[in-house]
Structure 1
Amino acid sequence: MTSRRWSGAWALPPEQSAARLEVLIPTVDRAAELAVTLAGLAGQDDPPFSVTVSEQSETSSESRPAVAAMLRVLRAQGREVRYLVHRPRRGLAEHRQFLLDQSVADAVLFLDDDVWLEPGMLARLSDALDTLRCGFVGAAVQGLSYLHDSRPAQREPFELWDDAVRPEVLRSDSPQVDRMTLHNAANLTHVAGELTIDRGSWLAYKIAWVGGCVLFRRQLLVECGGFDFWSTLPSSHVGEDVVAQWRVMERFGGAGILPSGAVHLEAPTTVPDRSTEAGDIVFRPAATYP
C-alpha cells in the first residue's frame, strides 16, 4: 500500500505523520518550472515525504494557478507542504542553509526548482541511501534535448562503486573532478542504455559532485557544517552545492545512482553572474607567513 492517497480519498481528513524524508526546494522567478517540479513530486509514491518550498521572488509564485494547483494536489495526497517566503536574497548557499535549518527529517532531498522526477525516483534514491549508508546519493539531472547527442569521450570516467562507498577528498585540482563530464548533456542516459539494469533498481557510481537532486542524511550534512560558509561568500556565487558535498564526501562518502530519472527543464539560469565559485573561497589555502 502506497503512502500517496488516491483521488477517491482526497476529500477525507488528512492523516499526517512526521515523514522521515523532506524535499527542500529553493525557488526564485520560476513559477512555470516550479509547477512542473511539484507535479513530478505528485507522481511519487513511497517513501512518505513532506515538502518545503522557500520562495525568494519579489512576487510570490504560490498563488499562480499551476503552482497553487500542484500544492493542492500534494496536500490532498496526504503530503505535508510548507510554502515559505525568505527574503532578501543573500545567495544560494544562505538560501540552502535556511531550508536545512527548517528541517528535522532524517533525510533531506535538495531539489532544484527546474527538475522533473520520474515516478519511482524518490524510492530509488531512498533505497540507495539506506543501502549504501553513505552521506548522500544523487540523481544527476539529464537534458533530454541531448538524447541523440552521444558523447562517448565524456563518458570515459564512468566507474561503478563495486563495494561499499568510501570517503574521498576532492578539490578543484583533483583527478576525480574529471568525472564531472558524466553529468553533461544526457550522458548518464546513454550510460544506462549501455548497461543491464533491472526496472526499478539502481547502480551506484563515483562522482565529482551531483547537481539539482541530492538526498542527504540530514544529521551528517549538519555535522559537516551544511552551508554555514555562506557568510564568507558574496551574494552572487555558484558551486555552493559542490562545497557541501565535498565536505560530506570527505567523512562519509557520496555516490550518484543510475539510471537517473531526474530531468532538467533546461530553463535559463536565475544566477547570471557565475564568476565566483564557492569552492575557490571556502577551500582557499590558508595564508602562510615567514
Structure 2
Amino acid sequence: MTALDILIPTCDRPGALAVTLTSLAAQTVQPFRVVISDQGESPVTERAEVVTAIRVLELHSCEVSVHRHLPRRGMAEQRQFLLEQARAPLVLFLDDDLILEPWVVGQMLGVLGRERCGFVGSAVIGLSFQADERPHQQAVECWEGPVTPETITVGSPAWHRYELHNAANLLHVQRRLAPSPERTRVYKVAWVGGCVLYDRACLEAAGAFGFWRELPEEHAGEDVLAQWRVMARSGGCAVMPSGVYHQELPTTLPNREVDAPKVLKV
C-alpha cells in the first residue's frame, strides 16, 4: 500500500482533468494512488485524453481508480465519498483543473512530515494575473516555530489572510521570500483551495466532510469549513513556493449563496 492517495472530484472537464493527471505523472515522488470521483454527464473514461493520462500514471506504477458517483449531492458529499475510498494515511485533495510543478507533491509530503500538523496546502496561482501587482493583498505571516492549532472565524483578522491567495499575489510574494523549492517557507493561512494534503487521521477526527447532510445540494466553502475544523484541533499551514497553477476555467459551482463556514459552526 502506498502512503499517499490523491483524491480528485471531477465534473464535465475531461480536457482539464487529463492535463492535471499528466502533471501528476511528472511528479518526482512516486508511486501514489489516484482516486477520481466522476459526476459528469458522460464518463471521463470514454475520453481518449483521460484514458491515455491514466495509462501513463499506471506505467509509473500509480494505481488509478475511477468511480461514477451519481446523483450529485454537492461538493461536501463528493469529497466525503472520495475520502471513504481512501486507504493511505495521507490524502491529497486535488481539483481537476490544475497544473503542478514536478516537485510539488514531494515538497508537501516533506513539510507535513516535518510539521506533523493536520494539513499542508499549496495555494493555486492564476498566471493570467502575473502583471497585476497588488501590494495591499500581499501580507504574509510565516510560521517561525512549529505549526500549532488556530481558530479561524469569518471576519476575524486571520480570515483576511485569504487575500494572499487571490490572483497571482502568492507568485509575487514567493519570488521575494521563497524563489525555489530549496528555500521552502511555511506560512499561516485562512484556508487553501484546490491542493491540500491532509493527515487522514486528523481530517477524520475533525469530522471530515460528514457535515454534507446539513447543507443543501448547492453550496460552497466545504473545504474551508473542513480545514477550519482541522486547524482548531491539529493546525494547518501552506507552503511556498507553491508551484500549482489554475487552468482558469469557468467554475462548475456557480451558485455560492450557501457558504458552509457561514451557516455551520466550526
Q: For this structure pair, what is the TM-score category when the shorter chain's length is used for normalisation? A: over 0.9
Counterpart selection for 2:55 from 72, 75, 81 = 72
Distance between the aligned counterparts of 1:199 and 1:213, measured in 2? 17
Q: Could you tell me which residue of structure 1 aligns to residue 176 of structure 2?
A: 194
Counterpart selection for 1:63 from 46, 53, 56 = 46
Q: Secondary structure at the match of 2:65?
A: strand
1:88 aligns with 2:88: no
What is the count of residue pairs matched by the alignment? 266
Larger Rg: 1
Q: Could you tell me which residue of structure 2 aligns to residue 124 of structure 1?
A: 107
Distance between the aligned counterparts of 1:53 and 1:145, measured in 2? 28
Counterpart selection for 2:16 from 33, 53, 69 = 33
Aligned-partner residue type, residue 169 of structure 2:
N
Distance between the aligned counterparts of 2:179 and 2:235, measured in 1? 23
Distance between the aligned counterparts of 1:196 and 1:206, measured in 2? 15
CA shift in 2, pair 1:133/1:81, >3 Å: same
| Contact preservation (8 Å) 1:120, 1:200 | no
Distance between the aligned counterparts of 2:160 and 2:98, measured in 1? 24
Q: Could you tell me which residue of structure 2 aligns to residue 270 of structure 1?
A: 252
1:103 aligns with 2:77: no
Aligned-partner residue type, residue 114 of structure 1:
D
How far apart are residue 175 of structure 1 and its match? 1.1
Q: TM-score, normalised by structure 2?
A: 0.98
Structure 2 unaligned blocks of 5 or more: none
How far apart are residue 48 of structure 1 and its match? 2.8
| Contact preservation (8 Å) 2:92, 2:196 | yes
How far apart are residue 57 of structure 1 and its match? 0.7
Q: Could you tell me which residue of structure 2 aligns to residue 135 of structure 1?
A: 118
Please report the RMSD computed on the Cα atoms of aligned residues, expressed in angstroms.
1.1
Q: Secondary structure at the match of 2:44?
A: coil
Q: Could you tell me which residue of structure 2 aligns to residue 13 of structure 1?
A: none
Q: TM-score, normalised by structure 1?
A: 0.90
| Contact preservation (8 Å) 1:139, 1:261 | yes
Structure 1 unaligned blocks of 5 or more: 1-17, 285-290
Distance between the aligned counterparts of 1:196 and 1:95, measured in 2? 34
Q: Secondary structure at the match of 1:179?
A: helix
1:179 aligns with 2:161: yes
Q: Could you tell me which residue of structure 2 aligns to residue 214 of structure 1?
A: 196
